[in-house]
Structure 1
Amino acid sequence: MTVEDVFLLHQGRLVLASGRIERGRVRRGDEVTPVGSGPGTTARVAGIREGRHAVAEARAGTNAALLLPGAVTGGVARGHVLAAPGSIRAYGVFDAEIALSAQDEGGGEVRTGDALTCYLRAAGAEGVVTLPPGLDVLPPLHLATVRITLGRPVALEPGHRFPFRRHGRAAGCGTVTRLLG
């Protein structure tokens, strides 16, 4: 589940993390680990809510809120992923095939060392682009496989699609092709 909002309840003794479940299912009592900010603390799901109703389980495609113990307070934030322990990792470097928008739609030339804001799941992550050898500049309306080094690790999987911005303007979209570290 991608975390979209986090609320502290009962003076921080409980954490309510809401978001959309991407795949699988989650039940009360299942163990989940927040992925996206260092080593996550495994926690047991104390309750699940869909809208205003408490439910025993939530399945892929639904928006749900998971009630977790307060011990995970600092480890859950917007853009993190709550997943079964060991099922997904956070990466700081990845290869992606990117497509730049037209110049009048915000796209512009991209060079090695340019900063992009990649919107990976529910949060933006700053990244630096490295173009492939032999390519000095990537002009608008072109495709290329590039390496992106993020400022902080983010939960990623091959095939994940993402939009990105450059200088505060929508500049294009990409697809994660390879995870490196």
Structure 2
Amino acid sequence: DEVPIVTGSALYALEDKDPEMGKQAVLKLLETVDSYIPTPVRDLDKPFLLPIEAVHSIPGRGTVVTGRLDRGTLKKGMDCEIVGHSKFMKSTVTGIETYHKILEEAQAGDQLGALIRGVKRDDVRRGMVLCKPGTVQQHDRFEAQVYVLKKEEGGKDKPILKYYQPIVYSRTFDCASRVFFEGRDMVMPGEDAKLEIRLLKPMALEQGQRFTLREGHVTAGTGVVTKILPNLNEDERKDLGMSQKKREREALKKAQQKAS
């Protein structure tokens, strides 16, 4: 009963027919949206963070990264870091543009392009983040609380097994991974579980960051990072790339060596 309903026709407005159902109705709809839907609260107090969606090279100007500012305020002249995909670079924001307008600053929620100094286009890629220096680190191992989607929710019709290898999607990055868990052999669709997830390479990650697990075109689960764990050592990283059969062979080989 409290939801306002506005009737009208956008086609009538375009064709300049029946002003009451056309132009006037569209204007009334805009007024209703402005008055009824609250303005989203922007996270302006935290250090700026821009997940990079795309990278462009502008002749005569340099490299531009684009994306939606996730939090904070980004100003022209600010020092910044580009983090992710096992890379780390320092730079300075020398220009900000949004929808062909030059800005001195942008706020959380703005879709923008940021011109960065001294960075080659090929050194930056989608999935990295542009952030305030020292605020975001790269990690390849974390604990997470994950919900495994049921088939009717768009998920799998089979359980997730230990050493499952989905693709992790978070912000603008995607990365191959392997899933570990203790005290059980599988996680059934429709269940919540605490998992340890190891990424194929370090990515920009924070506690509280949300992500999805995908296998092909299927979203297997959704989750949130609950704890950042120490990065993988050389042996753990080598183990990460092993198939299950090779893992079993290596375990058997080690057991035989100990026995002898």
What TM-score do you get using the length of structure 2 for normalisation? Answer: 0.66
Query: What CA distance in whole angstroms lies between the structure 2 residues aligned with 1:167 and 1:30?
Result: 40
Matched, 1:119 2:169: yes
**Alignment RMSD, CA only?**
1.5
Query: What CA distance in whole angstroms lies between the structure 2 residues aligned with 1:72 and 1:34?
Result: 12
Query: What CA distance in whole angstroms lies between the structure 1 residues aligned with 2:77 and 2:218?
Result: 43
Instruction: Give the counterpart of 2:191 among 142, 167, 171.
Output: 142
Equivalent positions of 1:15-30 (< 5 A) are 15-30=63-78
Query: What CA distance in whole angstroms lies between the structure 1 residues aligned with 2:68 and 2:202?
Result: 21
Across the two proteins, how many residue pairs are aligned to each other? Answer: 179
Q: Following TM superposition, where does structure 1 have runs of at least 4 consecutive aligned residues deviating by more than 4 angstroms? A: none
Unaligned runs of 5+ in 2: 1-49, 232-260
Structure 2 partner of 1:52: 100
Query: What CA distance in whole angstroms lies between the structure 2 residues aligned with 1:7 and 1:22?
Result: 20
Question: Is the CA contact 1:120–1:154 (under 8 Å) kept in the aligned structure 2?
Answer: no
Q: Per chain length, whose mean CA-contact separation is higher, i.e. which structure has more relative contact order (CA < 8 Å, sep 6+)?
A: 1
Matched, 1:158 2:212: no
1:46-86 Cα shifts (integer Å, max 9, x gaps): 10001110000011111111001243433321111000111
Query: What CA distance in whole angstroms lies between the structure 2 residues aligned with 1:158 and 1:151?
Result: 19
Matched, 1:90 2:138: yes
Instruction: Give the counterpart of 2:129 among 81, 95, 98.
Output: 81
Structure 2 partner of 1:100: 148
What TM-score do you get using the length of structure 1 for normalisation? Answer: 0.93
Deviation of 1:2 after TM superposition, in Å, equals 0.4
Query: What CA distance in whole angstroms lies between the structure 1 residues aligned with 2:89 and 2:188?
Result: 43
Deviation of 1:166 after TM superposition, in Å, equals 2.2
Matched, 1:64 2:64: no
Deviation of 1:27 after TM superposition, in Å, equals 0.8
Q: Which has the higher strand share?
A: 1
Structure 1 partner of 2:179: 129
Structure 2 partner of 1:177: 226
